[in-house]
Amino acid sequence: MKRALAVMGLALLLLAGCSTKMSYYFLDWAIEWELDDYVDLNRDQQKQFDAVLDEFIDWHRREELPRYVAQLESIKQQMQSGTLTPAAWAEEVNYAQSHWFRLFEHVFEGILPIVQSLSDEQVSGIIEQLRKEEAKLVAEYAGKTQEELIADSDERLTERAEKWIGKLSDKQKAMIHASNTSRLSTLDMWLEYRHEWLRQFETALNQRADTPLLRSRLQLLMTAPQTLKSEKHQQAVRENSENFGRLVMSIYRDLSDKQSKKLWHEYDALTKDLAELANEPD
């Protein structure tokens, strides 16, 4: 259930393929597919969920896609004018996260009765799957040296950047490495936070018969999860976000003409597709 909601919140990730419009048309299928990894709904639950999903996608297209377009246009303007500061980038990240909060708030009343109707067996299956994912993350990251973590991050960022701007120069790769080297380490705090989130999520599901308690716990976990992070963790996340903003602008200022052309071709195509989707008639 949590993953299905997360897919809603991260819908843009589904739009990063070769066809934004086609991906969006299959968004309902993708959410259903993700949900199946966590729980098998009975007939009544599935009917309720389908109704929530249909309404959500219609609302998301009309109300949320224009917000994404506006943010993309704002970031472009700041980048091209050279006014995108590290602090401004961090604020853009915070604003992007607020998109998720609105999504949860919109579907909350429709999802709540489905959560309350879950059987003990369904809840156990959800928690078991989430625990498996947590164990997989711990196995993947825990025990790695800082050098190994930096190398992994270098590889991921290089791959992502090349999807947008093409092959990176050695200088640009060095920028990524320098940025990752200067990042504050948050791995242990992040794993601890995820563990606490899962603990409280399990508690919420196990006490789902208490509607006020379930409501307050889920709203906290879905719309204010940062409150589960220590002040040190939150500050480190903010500093790392600003650090990434500096990297974005450093690479942007170093783009070749060919890279710049590819960047804005990809960027404008995404913005255009989202705008056209938002304006399609019902």
For the segment 228-261, what is each residue's pLDDT rounded down to a tens digit?
Answer: 999 999 999 999 999 999 999 999 999 999 999 9
pLDDT beyond 90 at 189: yes
Rounded to whole angstroms, what are the CA distances from 45 to 56, 93, 117? 16, 34, 8
At residue 35, the pLDDT reads 73
* Coil, helix or strand at residue 194: helix
- 231-253 and 65-81 helices, crossing angle to 10°: 60
What region, left, alpha or beta, does residue 207 occupy, with left being phi > 0 and alpha being psi -120 to 50 degrees?
alpha
- Structural contact between residues 245 and 90, judged by C-beta atoms closer than 8 angstroms: yes
Q: How many CA atoms lie within 13 A of 175 on its CB side?
A: 21
pLDDT beyond 50 at 85: yes
Token duo for residue 16: 């990063």
pLDDT band at 44 (very low <50, low <70, confident <90, very high): very high
Smallest Cα–Cα separation from 103: which of 224, 226, 10, 175? 10
pLDDT beyond 90 at 213: yes
Average pLDDT of span 117-143: 91
Smallest Cα–Cα separation from 228: which of 236, 218, 220? 220
Q: Length of the chain, please? A: 282
pLDDT band at 267 (very low <50, low <70, confident <90, very high): very high
Percent over 90 (pLDDT), the chain: 61
Average pLDDT of span 22-41: 63
At residue 143, the pLDDT reads 81
pLDDT beyond 90 at 131: yes
Instruction: Give the integer Cα–Cα distance in Å for 212 and 208.
Output: 9
Instruction: Give the integer Cα–Cα distance in Å for 138 and 143.
Output: 9
Q: What is the 3-state secondary structure (H, E, C) of 92-156?
A: HHHHHHHHHHHHHHHHHHHHHHHHHHCCHHHHHHHHHHHHHHHHHHHHHHCCCCHHHHHHHHHHH
Between 182 and 270, residue with greater pLDDT: 182
pLDDT beyond 50 at 43: yes
Q: Which helix (H) or strand (E) holds 47?
A: helix 43-59
At residue 165, the pLDDT reads 94
Query: Which residues, at least 6 apart from 167, have a Cβ–Cβ distance to it below 8 Å?
Result: none
Average pLDDT of span 177-204: 93
Is the pTM here over 0.85, yes or no? no
At residue 8, the pLDDT reads 33
At residue 34, the pLDDT reads 65
Query: Which residues, at least 6 apart from 149, have a Cβ–Cβ distance to it below 8 Å?
Result: 141, 185, 187
Smallest Cα–Cα separation from 275: which of 97, 24, 103, 106? 24
Instruction: Give the integer Cα–Cα distance in Å for 229 and 237.
Output: 10
- Structural contact between residues 191 and 137, judged by C-beta atoms closer than 8 angstroms: yes
Rounded to whole angstroms, what are the CA distances from 157 to 40, 82, 173, 180, 186? 36, 22, 9, 9, 17
Computed over every residue of the chain, the mean pLDDT equals 86
At residue 38, the pLDDT reads 84
Percent over 70 (pLDDT), the chain: 88
pLDDT band at 104 (very low <50, low <70, confident <90, very high): confident
At residue 31, the pLDDT reads 60
Token duo for residue 200: 């409280």
Burial profile 50-76: b = 16 or more Cβ within 10 angstroms, e = fewer = eebbeebbeebbeebbebbbeebeebb
